[in-house]
Structure 1
Amino acid sequence: MGLFSFLIIIVLFFIYKNYKKQEKLYLQTMTKNFEALYKNNAYLLKERSNIIYDSFINKEKIIKIVVKASKIKDIKSKEFKKLREELYKKLYNEYNYMKNYGLQELHFHLPDYTSFIRFYRPEKYGDSLKGVRKSLELVHEFKKPVSCFEIGRVVHGFRNVYPLFYNGELVGMVDVAYHANSIISGIERALPVYIEFIIDSNLIKKKLFEDEQKLYTKSHIFEDFFIDKDVKTFSKEAQIIKEEIQNIDKNKFKIVEKNFKNGKNFSINLKIKDKDYLISFICVKDCEGKTEAYFVIYKPDKIFGYLRYNFIIVLLTTTFLLTLVFSILYVYFWKQIEYREKLKKISETDTLTGIANRRAFIEKIKYEAKISQRFGYPLSVILFDIDNFKKVNDIYGHDTGDYVLKEVVKIISGQLRRTDFFARWGGEEFMIILKNTDLKDAIKLAERLRKVIENYKFEKVSYITISLGVAKLKSDEDIDSFFKRLDELLYKAKRKGKNRVEFE
């Protein structure tokens, strides 16, 4: 009897543990899904900003105005005022047009961080944003565009800040900013959710002009955060959810305070008016990676009810014998899964080098090519092989040849990002898939890899070199054509003397 009771307790414990694990896994999965949605929408805003910058801003007639303004010391002068009016008139129509597509702010800055003109608040200018807008300092220092969320003097925004050059000299900066609504609208229109945008109250008080703070109100749920009054709802479902949660007890959210301090994405399950809600908190970080705000996503979710129902049914219907059988099958089932996964891993791994093999590479490139061509993301591939590798085998033997292959893989792997996919194509040939990477950046990486190998001293063979071909997938290109181009580029590098990078 004692053993029977003990087994029942053990079985019930594992059933409960499994229930909590499923709940936790679901929360983690939904958190990742919403995080991906946020990042995708932020990326689309960045692409939209690039179009605005290239089409309207990065023009000589615009930049010349900024150049003239940067040379005027008296910002109250008539000449300075005239230049502001001239720039405003030149871009007014474009700014108003792009506001229909979510553009919030177009803000020009002088090289000393002085605000030249805010299209959102043209009457407010001349203040220095040094120490307030880190994005400007980064653009000023590195002379490259920066994209991040940031709170300024007048508005917060998802900003894309660009350097302005004239004759190779930095003459100013401009940021193209979008309101949180631009991200919220895309998600609320696609899913039955309501989204709040909450911002750290201390940052609002510290950064915004005092008269601009009236556009924010203290959250009735999250005491340390403000809510932007301009945030809207974009679907009937969102409005219904908003009304349902209006009188929620803020004490229910005490459990999230610790997570706020960690500044990480997370999700919880709460019952509101006897209805299960998935509430996801997606952090919004500034240019330094500090969390400044959160998207709080409320989603009525029946999954939690299903999980609880299943849990109760199992508890009520399980007997000792059924539980025992279930436990045996459960263990056997997972062993089979592990075995199949192990076999799959073996079938997709190059036994010598430990990286992906040709089969795994082909599956991966087909998938990435499909994603790239569907969503317009850049996809580049590097094909390289080891120069004169046959001589290494002939002179030093196959053991040394194997050593060289493994060492090359080790060196190259150390230079790649976690998102890059490295595979052995066959023999001494290797492939590298570079997601979200333009040809220019792929060429830079290829050249770096070539130099790293060239300067590395191998045992016995001393120094070796590699030849590389680099290509970017075209929007209408099939995989076979893409491979053919890569092969031609590699052989071109060989014909031109090896130890070089060839690209189109």
Structure 2
Amino acid sequence: MEKSSSNLKLANSTKPMFFTILGIISFITIFFLYMGYLHHKFVLELILKEEQNIASKIYSNTLRNVVLRYESVANNILINEEIIDAFEHNDRKELLNLTAPIYKKLSDENPYLKIMHFHTKDTKSFLRLHKPEKFGDDLSSIRHMINKVNKTKTKQIAMEAGRYGVYYRLALPVFNKKDDFLGVFEFGININYILDTFNKNYDFQSLLLLKKNIFEIIYENNKNITYSSYSNDYYSIESDLNHLCACKTSTLCNCTTAPVCNCKDDKGCNCIATTIKTDSLSIIKNKGSSSVIFTVNTIKDISNKEIGKILFVKNLNFYTDKLDMIKNISIVSGIVLLLLSLYMMRKIFNNYINIVNSYQSKLEIKNRTLLKLVNVDHLTKIHNRKSIETILIKELKRAKRYNHELSLIIFDIDNFKNINDTYGHNIGDKVLKSIAKVVANSIRESDYFGRWGGEEFIVISTETSMDNALLVAEKIRESISTYDFEEAEKITCSIGVAEYTSEDTHQSIVHNADTALYKAKHSGKNRVIFHEHS
């Protein structure tokens, strides 16, 4: 009886302790599960925002690279005296003969180059290389970008909707040798180039939405467009996002889930929820697949009127699968093994760190790739003008601060136009690549080397006097003149050298070196001239 009574007292005394421990463990477990939920939400939001930032950077750099590429080509075209003369004298036939091969080559290289167009000063079509049989029509009522170039005589870059589609356009004023304004020259890249760049190179899928009033103008001239109604305001154009709306027919109907696009019947039609029509990030789930959809940019024309939007879709299965796994592990461990709650919290935290670190590593790789695209000349793989100019400004500040010497070398390929005219632009490009390699092997490790523009290059020689810079320049000149260029005859260069003084800015030292280069050109070429300070 006493034994039974003592057992009862022991049981009664351990009850509060048992419930206390159970309460503590339950609290830890609930806290643990809540932290798992917050972790899931935080990491997912971080991933979504970073994906949107990456897409925005790629979008901006894609447009920037288009401008750099085709502005360079346009400038080469507009320094051709025969082309300018034919345009000035309204000789359409001769202008077509001179420029048609250029357009064919460019459109073969990039099928998305759909427009190469000469306009008169009063915004009439003079020559469409893409439709040479159509000319003389007055475009002033619809081509506001061309109107602006004619009015301001300055370069204009913008998205613009035409009769046949939406194009990223570069329009440049055309002048003759007397600096008389003749009209406008224009390149147009179909917007599908941007969409294709994302789809093929960056693991994004993209969807073009056009305002309905814009679409109606385009559709009137191009009945072959594949489209579907996206909302009350937009049509989606040539969508490849069949996993979002796999409609089998063009007949629209009403679904029961407030969809954006529908089919005649619901079989095989997976509709996008209307929530994605906002500019905010949205998650869509379809048959076990998770994706994020968002707008990077609203497309506006030069008058700031909306043309449409580009929606970007990124598959998130890699991340959501891991996050769902962590979430499930948290729930199972909390129910089945309460005593392991602290251990599971540590495991989830470690997994969280691994996921973030993994994602951060991939982001850093993408950022390094973007940085390289921004700073490297696409042809010669050396510093481009923006990059070398930034380096020059930095080195001039350092030279001024520490009273160091610095010299600047600018050189230009002699008679390079003859190489392009004789052998073609492909050979000219190969020559520029070879020269970049020759010079890179001729200069010192402390020198910076970049392409200034066209066939003009620049070398920044840090902590280098004029005498030593002249030795470097002479070595460059001799290396080029003695190199065996398989693509063309003997090639030489003219070089100008300038030494930094305390009064110099980056503009003035470039001007001084350029002046010396000009003297070298007009003193017989294939020589080095240094700038003498007065």
SS at match of 2:103: helix
Compute the displacement of 1:54 (Å): 3.5
Contact 2:172 2:185 in 1 (8 A): yes
Residue 493 of structure 2 is matched in structure 1 by none
Relative to structure 1, the CA distance from residue 255 to residue 118 in structure 2 (aligned partners, 3 Å threshold; closer, same or farther) is same
From 261, 282, 285, give the equivalent of 2:296. 282
What are the Cα deviations for residues 182-227 of structure 1, in whole angstroms up to 9, with x where unaligned?
333344333555433222223334xx46731535454343442234
One-letter amino acid matched to 2:121:
P
Contact 1:164 1:171 in 2 (8 A): yes
Residue 192 of structure 2 is matched in structure 1 by 181
Relative to structure 1, the CA distance from residue 28 to residue 210 in structure 2 (aligned partners, 3 Å threshold; closer, same or farther) is closer
What are the Cα deviations for residues 105-164 of structure 1, in whole angstroms up to 9, with x where unaligned?
112111222222333344544444446334324433543333332112343212111111
1:257 counterpart = 2:233: no
One-letter amino acid matched to 1:226:
Y
Contact 1:66 1:110 in 2 (8 A): no
Contact 1:245 1:272 in 2 (8 A): no
SS at match of 2:285: strand
Residue 503 of structure 2 is matched in structure 1 by 498
Residue 113 of structure 1 is matched in structure 2 by 123
Relative to structure 1, the CA distance from residue 6 to residue 37 in structure 2 (aligned partners, 3 Å threshold; closer, same or farther) is same
Moved more, 38-47 or 321-330: 321-330
1:92 counterpart = 2:100: yes
Residues of 1 paired with 2:179 and 2:82: CA distance? Answer: 16
**Aligned alpha-carbon RMSD (Å):** 4.7
Residues of 2 paired with 1:3 and 1:68: CA distance? Answer: 92
Residues 51-450 of structure 1: pairs in structure 2 closer than 5 A: 51-69=72-90, 83-100=91-108, 101-102=110-111, 103-130=113-140, 132-166=142-176, 167-190=178-201, 194-205=205-216, 208=217, 211-212=220-221, 214-216=223-225, 218-228=227-237, 242=242, 245-247=245-247, 249-250=259-260, 252-259=272-279, 267-283=281-297, 284-287=299-302, 292-303=307-318, 304-318=320-334, 319=338, 322-323=341-342, 326=345, 372=376, 374=381, 377-378=384-385, 379-381=387-389, 425=398, 428=401
Relative to the length of structure 1, the TM-score reads 0.59
Relative to structure 1, the CA distance from residue 257 to residue 110 in structure 2 (aligned partners, 3 Å threshold; closer, same or farther) is same
Residue 47 of structure 1 is matched in structure 2 by 68
SS at match of 1:269: strand
Moved more, 194-203 or 214-223: 214-223
From 485, 493, 503, give the equivalent of 2:461. 485
SS at match of 2:509: strand
Residues of 1 paired with 2:399 and 2:384: CA distance? Answer: 28
Q: Flag structure 2 segments of 5+ consecutive residues without an equivalent.
A: 1-19, 249-258, 261-270, 357-367, 405-409, 411-438, 449-458, 470-496, 514-534
One-letter amino acid matched to 2:201:
A
Moved more, 94-103 or 120-129: 120-129
SS at match of 1:271: strand
Residues of 1 paired with 2:348 and 2:231: CA distance? Answer: 46
Residues of 2 paired with 1:39 and 1:369: CA distance? Answer: 12
Residue 14 of structure 1 is matched in structure 2 by 35
Compute the displacement of 1:58 (Å): 4.1
Contact 1:193 1:298 in 2 (8 A): yes
Residues of 1 paired with 2:499 and 2:82: CA distance? Answer: 47
Compute the displacement of 1:177 (Å): 0.9
Residues of 1 paired with 2:244 and 2:181: CA distance? Answer: 52
Residues of 2 paired with 1:192 and 1:383: CA distance? Answer: 33
Residues of 2 paired with 1:38 and 1:315: CA distance? Answer: 40
Contact 1:114 1:126 in 2 (8 A): yes
Compute the displacement of 1:23 (Å): 1.1
Instruction: Number of aligned residue pairs: give it.
Output: 369
What are the Cα deviations for residues 1-37 of structure 1, in whole angstroms up to 9, with x where unaligned?
7887666555444332221121122122222223333
Compute the displacement of 1:176 (Å): 0.8
SS at match of 1:485: strand
Residues of 2 paired with 1:157 and 1:370: CA distance? Answer: 23
Relative to structure 1, the CA distance from residue 496 to residue 480 in structure 2 (aligned partners, 3 Å threshold; closer, same or farther) is closer
Residues of 2 paired with 1:110 and 1:502: CA distance? Answer: 39
SS at match of 2:168: strand
Relative to structure 1, the CA distance from residue 123 to residue 247 in structure 2 (aligned partners, 3 Å threshold; closer, same or farther) is same
Relative to structure 1, the CA distance from residue 481 to residue 113 in structure 2 (aligned partners, 3 Å threshold; closer, same or farther) is same
Identity %: 17
One-letter amino acid matched to 2:317:
K
SS at match of 2:388: strand
Q: Flag structure 1 segments of 5+ consecutive residues without an equivalent.
A: 70-82, 232-237, 260-265, 338-363, 385-419, 432-438, 440-473
What are the Cα deviations for residues 209-267 of structure 1, in whole angstroms up to 9, with x where unaligned?
673153545434344223445x8xxxxxx7xx6367424953633112231xxxxxx65
Compute the displacement of 1:104 (Å): 0.5
Residues of 2 paired with 1:375 and 1:383: CA distance? Answer: 13
SS at match of 1:116: strand
